[in-house]
Amino acid sequence: MSIPYLTLITFLPAAGAILMALWPRLSGRAIKITSLLLTLVPLVLSIAVFAGFDRSSSMAGVVQFEENLPWISLLNANYHLGVDGLSLPFLILTTLLGVLAVLISWKVELRVKEYFVWLLILQTSITGVFVSLDLLLFFIFWELELIPMYFLISIWGAGRKEYSALKYVLYTLFGGAFILAGILILFFATGSLDIASLASLDLNNFLRPALMVLTFFMFFIGFAIKLPAFPFHTWLPDAHTDAPTAASVILAGTLLKMGGYAMLRLNVAMFPDVCRDWAPLILTIAVINVIYGAAITLKQTDIKRLIAYSSVSHMGFVLLGIFTLGEISMNGAVLQMFSHGIITGLLFAITGVVMHNTHERDINKMGGLAKQMPRTAIIFILAGLGAMAVPATSGFIAEVSVFLGSFQSSVVPSGQVFTMICLLGLVLAAAYILWTVQRVFLGPGLDKFQMVKDADKTEIVFSVVFLLIMFGVGLYPQIIVDVIQTGVAPLAALFGG
């Protein structure tokens, strides 16, 4: 009997969280160690899946480590899990950030058990999105994540935490309504909820052209809210600004990636003709995301809000890579999502260290912190280099792949124009990262920060893990590109790639 790797990876954190919630009189330290173990085991199992994944070209588009059992016969819904080249990078990313989120949360002292229970349930819900191959199961996991994220922000957040948490929930529910409508249209038209089966069908035989376009945009709007894409991005800065550090790391690292992943899995795979016809409109949104997001980032004085708006800009690169519909550009889009999860996760994590130790988040009130926090400054600067896409970082190879692929893609005639405009985002990224470093860490030290502590051992450990992956993928991208290629190749073939 084969080991149900994906079931264990997905549900072990939530199962452990439930047992931990019911177990009386657990000390805070015991809760943290238990949570670390409950995230370490899924990480080890996901590494085993990654190591055992067949990367050969003959396996392109083939689902591996599949688990398929009858679930709700009335709806023809199955408990169907599996991974391919699209989902496996995000499975690794989710389980890795789960471990790091626990380490980042090591200093949490408020309602410790409740905090880690919600953190573990959040990991299960996000993992489920990336491994589900049944639309109903996919949707349940998609909606489930809003519950733990709401509580993490509203209880352990700061500032206008209740407002930001409620805004996040309302946006998510609004997007979920569109996704559910798209799922229902597909189900009533085809009688199937199986994602792989639907991707193999020619939906033109089941849906009229107008209904095809409507269904495509039902999905696109729901996924664009999560990405987030303009004009649905306004929930993100508030959620990031007021969320606790670990929630911000997960939010930037994996939760946003659900939107880009779902666009590839559903929009591109099931509606290639609609993608081709409407690509110019979506690429216009990508340009707005990149330029507007970067320009607004330059105006921020709250350090967490600054990183949040930079995510809006970088997700524009993902849209550009996906909807220029070239093989290299889509490879770059997936790699960009993985890289952004690592780099921005580190930026939020180390920013949390700065805020915790200085009790300050206003950039205008900081300065000269490199003298008191040299290790923290070095880590932030290295993460900033990744966000600027400096060579040898994962950000460089990801963005180069997006731009080269988008520029040479022949599927969208105007792709070169959109690519050239988006290149301005690289210049703006360098500007806001370097300006932030200068304002926060350089210059004369301030008397009020003379006794500020630097990053401790735990903070250095999780930062080094982030940095090793950032530079590891940057120096040897083939370790993950080979996997991504097997998932993207079938999509590119739909457009002649």
Specify the long-range contacts of residues 190-197, CB closer than 8 Å, at least 24 apart: 191/76, 192/76, 193/75, 193/76, 193/77, 193/78, 193/134, 193/135, 193/136, 194/78, 194/80, 194/133, 194/134, 194/135, 195/80, 195/132, 195/133, 195/134, 195/135, 195/138, 195/265, 195/266, 196/63, 196/133
User: Would you state the structure tokens that stand for residue 476, as one six-digit string?
Assistant: 């040897």
User: Would you state the structure tokens that stand for residue 427, as one six-digit string?
Assistant: 């210049």
Where do we find the tokens 């690289």? 426
| Residues 6 and 83: beta-carbon distance below 8 Å | yes
| Residues 296 and 303: beta-carbon distance below 8 Å | no
Q: Tell me how crowded residue 422 is: count the other CB atoms within 10 A of its CB.
A: 26
| Residues 488 and 327: beta-carbon distance below 8 Å | yes
Extract the runs of DSSP E, i.e. beta strands, from 39-91: 64-72, 77-83
Helix axes 303-323, 424-441, angle to 10 degrees: 160
Question: Nearest Cα to 245, choosing from 70, 417, 455?
Answer: 455
Q: What residues pair up with 302 in beta bridges, in sequence order? A: 362
Q: pLDDT tens track of the chain, all 497 residues? A: 588 999 999 999 999 999 999 988 889 899 999 999 999 999 999 999 999 999 987 777 889 999 999 999 889 999 999 999 999 999 999 999 999 999 999 999 999 999 999 999 999 999 999 999 999 999 999 999 999 999 999 999 988 999 999 999 999 999 999 999 999 999 999 999 999 999 999 998 999 999 999 999 999 999 999 999 999 999 999 998 899 999 999 999 999 999 999 999 999 999 999 999 999 999 999 999 999 999 999 999 999 999 999 999 999 999 999 999 999 999 999 999 999 999 999 999 999 999 999 999 999 999 899 999 999 999 999 999 999 999 999 999 999 999 999 999 888 888 899 999 999 999 999 999 999 999 999 988 888 888 899 999 999 999 999 999 999 999 999 999 999 999 999 999 998 86
Label residues 106-128 b or e (16+ Cβ within 10 Å = b). bebeeebbebbbbbbbbbbbbbb
26/153 Cα distance (integer angstroms): 24
Give the strand pairing for 77-83 and 64-72. antiparallel
Length of the chain: 497
341/256 Cα distance (integer angstroms): 9
Global pTM reads 0.95
Three-state DSSP at 304 gives helix
419/414 Cα distance (integer angstroms): 9
